[in-house]
Chains A and B, each alone.
Chain A
């Protein structure tokens, strides 16, 4: 008993400063870890790919999200009120600029006022410049896609609204004549999009006469596939160049040393 007493007293003594400090730091680190996980989970969701169309000259989406300071100078520079800043409730990465072509498309101003005002380089002037001159025709905001099922030109009804609306008609959209076998005496006038020229401005989507647009712009990354390294256009000198850097991949399958006929002698065990 007499030995226990001083021990108990010791327990009641206030914590040493060092211990207090360590405990407080541990508490801080613990709370920071909790909030860090919650915070990063939110940001991961909030910045997930959203099929957004960015202003002309926008750099790759990943880099755009880290470089855009969300100041809205591009939005203010846009004379058509095309560009919007994502606000809470829009379900888009907060504060970043985007546009909805069905509402207001990009009218492709030749002086591209939205790009040079960007203070951070999230809108890259060099990506819309040819020969030291701003050139909106090389902008790449997205790529127009046609839904052949709902496009009335594919039904045989004459409509070239998208073709007429295209600011670079003849290169981004052309019209192709094809015989209408159903009637035998009419022609289809089908719009065809050329991915190398399309800027994704969305004037076609804006002009489309169907209830929900049959031609619409998607981010190029989403709208395109990729053939990969296994297929080469042998007739295309440029495409064949890809072979120069190709590496040979050797795969070897080990051959069974047993004779094929032995399989008949092992009581069919292998089959079950």
Chain B
């Protein structure tokens, strides 16, 4: 039991936060709870603290919308929050699509999709930055927040809170895409929101730290990591994971049997290094 907890503690915590956030939003609409109102695009916590999606606001800025004070405060709150805890912590701790793509990735590993010979990953992980740039250009040209009208994240999340409609088909599309077309396809290659938080997360404080001395090169971490290019230092150097593309999902920490990976604060990690 202790081992089970040790191997899945962050996964359990992540599912707990993801689901509780959904439940709180749902309760706000269905039963008038005030803890977390609105949805991931813009919300109010306890009817006081605003929080708004900075990427949605950026698109609105490009679309030429007048920016209201409430919105700007909400954007500031969210930006500071994710600057501190790691931009893509949103992706693995909040975003509901993460549960869909994690399931696809899990299935992939279980049925051995990755082992088919000749199937190469045909796409670059930089697509998301292209989509990000494109969404801003289109927002400017069309005068509406371009990604917000196609975003499966908003569609599914809004759907769960306010009524799904055909939103479930979006989940199926992403699941099948990640399972059969491209490993980590949506979250790891295409999603511009993930790209946006990758850029924001470059500066965040909470980092996964690698301790090379303990590493036995089993590569379980690289196997389970949804963005395994960020783990380039495994077995080579004791470094923190500094890429903004790391989602701080902590799966690598859990699967490591040798205590070679742990969470740390960025500056403390640096100091440790210079101290040695």
Q: Which residues of chain A come closer than 8 Å to B143, judged between CB atoms? A: 62, 65-66
* Distance A94 CA – B165 CA, assembled complex (angstroms): 11
Q: Which residues of chain B come closer than 8 Å to A76, judged between CB atoms? A: 28-29, 32, 37-38
Answer whether A88 and B165 are a contact pair too, CB < 8 Å, given A95-B158, A120-B65. yes
B interface, how many residues as a size bin? Answer: 35 or more
* Distance A116 CA – B67 CA, assembled complex (angstroms): 15
Q: A72–B138 contact, CB under 8 A?
A: no
B260 within 8 Å of A (CB atoms) = no
Q: Which residues of chain B come closer than 8 Å to A85, judged between CB atoms? A: 158, 162-163
Q: B163–A73 contact, CB under 8 A?
A: no
B235 within 8 Å of A (CB atoms) = no
Q: Which residues of chain B come closer than 8 Å to A87, judged between CB atoms? A: 155, 158-159, 162-167
Name the residue of chain A whose CB is nearest to the CB of B167.
A88
Q: Which residues of chain B come closer than 8 Å to A36, judged between CB atoms? A: 134, 137-138
* Distance A103 CA – B15 CA, assembled complex (angstroms): 38
Interface pick from A15-23, A38-46, A145-153, A223-231 = A38-46
A interface, how many residues as a size bin? Answer: 35 or more
Q: A70–B43 contact, CB under 8 A?
A: no
> Between A and B, how many residue pairs show CB distances below 8 Å?
140
Closest Cβ of chain B to A22, distance in Å, is 16
A110 within 8 Å of B (CB atoms) = no
Which of A40, A47, A67, A72 makes the CB contact (< 8 A) with B161?
A72
Interface pick from B146-154, B201-209, B226-234 = B146-154
Q: A93–B74 contact, CB under 8 A?
A: no
* Distance A75 CA – B169 CA, assembled complex (angstroms): 24
Interface residues of B (CB under 8 A from A): 28-29, 32, 37-39, 41-44, 50, 52-53, 56-57, 60, 63-68, 70-71, 74, 130-131, 133-134, 137-138, 141-146, 148-150, 154-155, 158-159, 161-167, 169-170
> What are 25 A-B interface contacts by the 8 Å CB criterion?
A36-B134, A47-B149, A62-B143, A66-B144, A66-B145, A69-B41, A69-B53, A70-B154, A70-B158, A71-B38, A71-B43, A72-B39, A73-B42, A76-B28, A84-B163, A85-B158, A88-B155, A88-B159, A89-B166, A94-B149, A95-B149, A118-B70, A119-B42, A120-B68, A121-B66
Add 11 more A-B contacts to A67-B60, A95-B158 (CB < 8 A).
A36-B137, A42-B150, A43-B142, A62-B143, A69-B145, A72-B161, A84-B162, A85-B163, A87-B163, A94-B149, A120-B42
Interface residues of A (CB under 8 A from B): 28, 31-32, 35-36, 39-40, 42-44, 46-47, 62-63, 65-67, 69-73, 75-76, 84-85, 87-90, 93-95, 117-121
